[in-house]
Structures are given as structure tokens and as C-alpha cells.
Amino acid sequence: MRVLVAGGDGFCGWPTALYLSVRGHEVFIADNMSRRGWDEELGTNSLTRISTLEDRVARWKELTGREIGVAAGDLTDERYVYETIDRWRPEALVHFAEQRAAPYSMIDRSHAVFTQVNNVVGTLNVIFAIGEVVPDCHLIKLGTMGEYGTPNIDIEEGYIEIEHNGRKDTLPYPKQPGSFYHLSKVHDSHNIMFGCKVWGIRATDLNQGVVYNVETEETASDPVLTNRYDYDGIFGTALNRFIAQAASGSEITVYGEGGQTRGFIDIRDTVRCIELAANNPAERGEFRVFNQFTEQWSVLQLARLVEKVARALDLDPKLVHLDNPRVEQEAHYYKAANTRLMDLGLKPHLLDEETVERLLLTAMENRDHIHPETFAPRVDWRRPHYNK
């Protein structure tokens, strides 16, 4: 099918574009390259060296004979969105094109406003264009498990049956987002659900857990295709940060006591989940939700796993606890459903010592590209800043 990957230059978007392309789909990428610009703004970088998008798609064509179309532009520009969708007429639109870091959204007022405008307006433009130009197109939207927060009850997949005053109804699961970024995802979910209801568009909301690992078979096949590896205190996940800290001889820093528990997923399973959603589209007017994660880990469990693997590689990291800069529960109940993608055929890769060792060896090979000064938490979530 024809698939448009919005945000196709990013950490999830690039491997998804290659994965779908090699499996015979006609793939197009829409991206404004803003993720690369945020590195310049923050003084951060990918641990791996990443090529330009132009070089990436050219190399992919040399290796496979498959062409990936590219249109540079911003989803907040409604003219660009309409023209791009009208030009390529996608049968599926995979939407990764959002500012995706909670810490970035909490830096100050301007970063919070940018995150919400960029994410919410961009998604609104997409659903309007789909509804008007390609109403049969299946929107596959990357959401986040962070929309749910950490409720003291089991987390269902998008909906929950409620009984109140003797009556029952199935309603969207209550949302308790923990940042302005996560709030933007909640707004997206509501807007897409409304678009399905009133215009009959079809959409799958993939509430993804924290992604680990870096490479897929496709991105690892050639140095020009290498995926990005974020490790800093703003865009890097806890696991990536711990690995880079161990590789560089720095302390492994755990926020608070480390009891914060979340859902996790391997990047190889992320691209497979996109394929499963695309091959099994939602019905017209259906807004369905899949919880896209494969296992649960606490922050402290991850830190200890990295510490164990690092010591086996003759590294000697020290695990320390920092005051938690975030406003979050550190000891909490967490049990989330994740059966719908499994029912469609997902066979997950699970996090183990071998995966951590592979990531750690990659970090050690690129040790000269690690900037330890970017590890420290730079965002204070506990008080508002107008503009920094």
C-alpha cells in the first residue's frame, strides 16, 4: 500500500520507513528536520553519527532499488499538509511528527506552548486533510502510555466499562498525563476520536511505552542508514542514559528511589506493530486504541541491569540516587493490558542482558561522541518558568 510516514527522519520514523519499504510498500516521508535542530538548541547529540535524510534515502535506493519519496515541510502548515496528502494519496498515514520529549515540554512557557501547538495543530491539520482528501486513509497515530499516568487500578486499552447509579457505559479510559507533552497527546486522542465520530475517518491510536534498543535489521545494514541514539537528560530515555553513563565512566544516576514503573518496547517491535496496524486497519468511523508495550520495568531495575552488564565488561559504574526533578509517584501500582497487538501476531523481543550488552558496546565504540555534561537533569518540573 502507499504509506506516508510523518516524522520519517526521527528515531521511530526512520526505521519504520525502511521496514515498510523493504516489505513492498510504497513509502513517503514528510519531515521538517526539527529533531536535528533541537540538538543544536540544547547542545545535545546522537551518540551514533547519523547521515542527512537525503543521503539516507539515496543509500537505501542504492542498496535495495526501492525509492522513498521525501517532502520537507511542517504539519502545522495546513497548505503543506493538504498538498502533500493530495499529491501522494496515502492509504495509511503513520504519524510520528511530534515533539516527543516530556522534559523538553517542561523547560519553560515557550517550550510548553511550542509542544502543544506543534503537536495538537499538526494532528488537527492531518485529520482535516484525511477527512477531506483521502477519507479511506487509515491514520496510525503514535500515542503514549503516559496519557494514562499511574492510576491505582488496572490500565485497559483505551476504554473502560463504568457502572454509575445503576447504569453502564464504555468510556475512554481516564487520563492523568504527567507533562505538557503528555497533555498534548491526550488532546490528540480526543481530537482524533472526534474526527472518527463525525467524519467517519478510521484511526488507530498506539499508546506506546518507552522504546529501547536502537537498530533494526534495516538500519544496521549500512552505516549511512544508522538510527539515532539519544542519551542526554532531555531526549534520552533512562536506559540509554544509564548505558552512556556506564560507557563514559560516569555515575549511573537514578531519579529518586527508582520505583517508577513503566511499559517498555524494543524498537524492532515498534516497527512490527506499525505493520500489524497497517495490515489490519480500523473500520470507517472506528477509533481504536492499542497499548503498544511488551513488558514492565522500574527505573531501578533498569539501572541495576546496566550495572551488572557493565561490570561483566570490566567497567566499574557507581549507581547513585538524585533528587527527582519530576513530579511523579515513585512507589505505585502499575498493571496495564497489552493484548490486542499480541492477538494480531506480535511476537515480542524482551529486554535481556544480551540486548543491554549490545547497546553498551555501541556506546563504548562511540565513547568520544558522549558529552557527560548533558546527563544532568536540567529541567525543574516543580515550578513554572516564564521563559529561560
SS3 of residue 199 by DSSP: helix
Residue 102's alpha-carbon distances to 70, 307, 335, 381, 386, in angstroms, are: 28, 26, 22, 10, 17
Tell me how far apart the alpha carbons of residues 208 and 266 are, in angstroms, rounded to a whole number: 11
Type of residue found at 170: T
Residue 181 is among the residues annotated as catalytic for this protein: yes
Residue among 44, 76, 144, 261 flagged as catalytic: 144
**Pairwise CA distance, residues 233 & 236, whole Å:** 6
DSSP state of 167: E
> What does the buried/exposed string (b/e) look like for 74-93 if buried means 16 or more CB atoms within 10 Å of the residue's CB?
bbbebebbbebbeebebbbb
Give me the half-sphere count of Cα atoms (radius 13 Å) on the Cβ side of residue 148.
32
Nine-digit cell string for 11: 528515531
Residues 6 or more apart whose Cβ sits within 8 Å of residue 98: 7, 118, 119, 122, 123, 142, 184, 185, 188
Residue at grid coordinates 551514533? 48
User: 264 has which bridge partners?
Assistant: 210, 295
Catalytic hit among 181, 212, 231, 334: 181
Verify whether residue 204 is a known catalytic residue. no
In the annotation, is 64 catalytic? no
Out of 84, 115, 185, 231, pick the active-site residue: 185
Q: How far apart are CA 251 and CA 245, in angstroms?
A: 6
Question: Which are the catalytic amino acids?
Answer: 144, 181, 185
